[in-house]
Structure 1
Amino acid sequence: MTTVDQQQRQGPPAPRRRSRRDEILEIAVGLFAARGYHGVSMDDIGSAAGVTGPALYHHFAGKEAMLVAALIPVSESLLHGGKARVGQHPEDASAALADLIDFHVEFALANPAVIALHLHELDRLPEEPRRQIRRLQRLYVEEWVGVLAMLRPELDAPEARVLAHSAFGLMNSTPFLGGEVDRRRRAALLREATMHALTGR
């Protein structure tokens, strides 16, 4: 039996099991987003995660380390994902923009707590990780600016940058959206509003 046959009989590989560290970080992010950074103690996080103090410090040096661990990988992931989607459409700016919007809307719907954390708590970080995150964000914005420059040559780079930031304001509104509208419809509305904001159509 070939390796391909064996894989087909076995089915798709099981998803990677989340580590205890990932679980604790997700709980911390949710608490920070709900109560604010200063409204949450390490004891609060440990209690919510069912972890004692010493075990908690085995994973993170403190709240600041949790904030860094939550925000830097997200910024890296957005940049890499944005580059990948733009790279799939080197000659088609319309398709690249639609792919970027789909990508970011899905991120925003899946991670409202992380977005809230970024909006309200980024300045709590020390200078170096804060600078790193800002740099990653600027590079991600420039992926959007490059696509908009191809799609709308009447815009100069600063104007395209204004539109890109306005699009993020729309898409990153997910922490403030209630559950009255189901997720699929919310995604469609956010995609439509963002496309209209960027292209006027």
Structure 2
Amino acid sequence: MTVDQQQRPGPPAPRRRSRRDEILEIAVGLFAARGYHGVSMDDIGSAAGVTGPALYHHFAGKEAMLVAALIPVSEGLLHGGKERVGRHPADAQAALIDLIEFHVDFALANPAVIALHLHELDRLPDEPRRQIRRLQRLYVEEWVTVLATLRPELEAGEARVLAHSAFGLMNSTPFLGGEVDRRRRAELLREATVHALLGR
């Protein structure tokens, strides 16, 4: 090994998950499985191996956990959607395929978060709920803009209906069994979403 090789930095190490991240993941799984009211802070602490005072060091309560789980997800979807559309400024079909792959990968990796969003969003206070709704609307508009280019016969409202329908299809992952492996599930979801949006 040369001196240059010794001094050359390697790839950055992946970010180590914090204890807070671990607790939040456990809480999301419990909320998704039992419902928000079916889970207590004691349940979360027990599952995470954390005592009450230590748990409250990370989160003020269950409501804070919901906010911490859902707002970053909505921010991440919007950022990721914009980034993928930006990769294809002159090719709307490639942008749509990239959007679909991005969202399917998210949906398969985060079924508990999707279930939490579907069933528990209305439990949030007004301000974080409004923030999440706004982020979602902006994400939908990324899809609507691409669809409007690909299918100019559609009015904006019609493209929006199709986009929401596609989300319903892709966000079905909390209800899919494990009898089909992940790779094949991704293929089927992508194919079905393309057919739904493009009509072929």
Same fold by TM (over 0.5)? yes
CA-to-aligned-CA distance 1:166-195 (integer Å, 9 cap, x gap): 000000000000000000000000000000
Please give the secondary structure, in 2, of the residue aligned with 1:57: helix
Q: Distance in 2 between matches of 1:13 and 1:103?
A: 23
Q: Distance in 1 between matches of 2:125 and 2:5?
A: 50
Deviation, structure 1 residue 81: 0.3
> Taking structure 1 as reference, are residues 111 and 4 closer, same or farther at Cα in structure 2, changes over 3 Å only?
farther
Give unmatched runs, 5+ long, in structure 1: none
* Corresponding residue number in structure 1 for 2:152: 153
Q: Distance in 1 between matches of 2:72 and 2:131?
A: 11
Deviation, structure 1 residue 10: 5.8
* Corresponding residue number in structure 2 for 1:55: 54
CA-to-aligned-CA distance 1:62-94 (integer Å, 9 cap, x gap): 000000000000000000000000011111000
> Taking structure 1 as reference, are residues 4 and 57 closer, same or farther at Cα in structure 2, changes over 3 Å only?
farther
* Corresponding residue number in structure 2 for 1:79: 78
Deviation, structure 1 residue 11: 3.9
Q: Distance in 2 between matches of 1:102 and 1:184?
A: 12
Q: How many residues align?
A: 199
> Taking structure 1 as reference, are residues 125 and 4 closer, same or farther at Cα in structure 2, changes over 3 Å only?
farther
> Taking structure 1 as reference, are residues 169 and 7 closer, same or farther at Cα in structure 2, changes over 3 Å only?
farther
Deviation, structure 1 residue 200: 1.1
Deviation, structure 1 residue 4: 11
> Taking structure 1 as reference, are residues 7 and 15 closer, same or farther at Cα in structure 2, changes over 3 Å only?
farther
Q: Distance in 2 between matches of 1:14 and 1:137?
A: 31
Q: Distance in 1 between matches of 2:127 and 2:195?
A: 36
Deviation, structure 1 residue 13: 2.4
CA-to-aligned-CA distance 1:15-36 (integer Å, 9 cap, x gap): 1100000000000000000000
* Corresponding residue number in structure 1 for 2:183: 184
Q: Where do residues 1-201 of structure 1 align in structure 2 (5 Å cutoff)? A: 5-6=4-5, 11-201=10-200
Deviation, structure 1 residue 7: 7.7
Deviation, structure 1 residue 42: 0.1
Q: Distance in 2 between matches of 1:176 and 1:111?
A: 12
Deviation, structure 1 residue 14: 1.9
Q: Distance in 1 between matches of 2:60 and 2:182?
A: 36
> Taking structure 1 as reference, are residues 4 and 15 closer, same or farther at Cα in structure 2, changes over 3 Å only?
farther
Q: Distance in 2 between matches of 1:181 and 1:39?
A: 30
Q: Distance in 2 between matches of 1:7 and 1:198?
A: 52
Which 4+ residue blocks in structure 1 deviate beyond 3 angstroms? 3-11
Please give the secondary structure, in 2, of the residue aligned with 1:10: coil
Please give the secondary structure, in 2, of the residue aligned with 1:16: coil
> Taking structure 1 as reference, are residues 126 and 7 closer, same or farther at Cα in structure 2, changes over 3 Å only?
farther
> Taking structure 1 as reference, are residues 148 and 124 closer, same or farther at Cα in structure 2, changes over 3 Å only?
same
Q: Distance in 1 between matches of 2:190 and 2:110?
A: 16
Alpha-carbon RMSD? 1.7
> Taking structure 1 as reference, are residues 4 and 37 closer, same or farther at Cα in structure 2, changes over 3 Å only?
farther
TM-score normalised per structure 2: 0.96
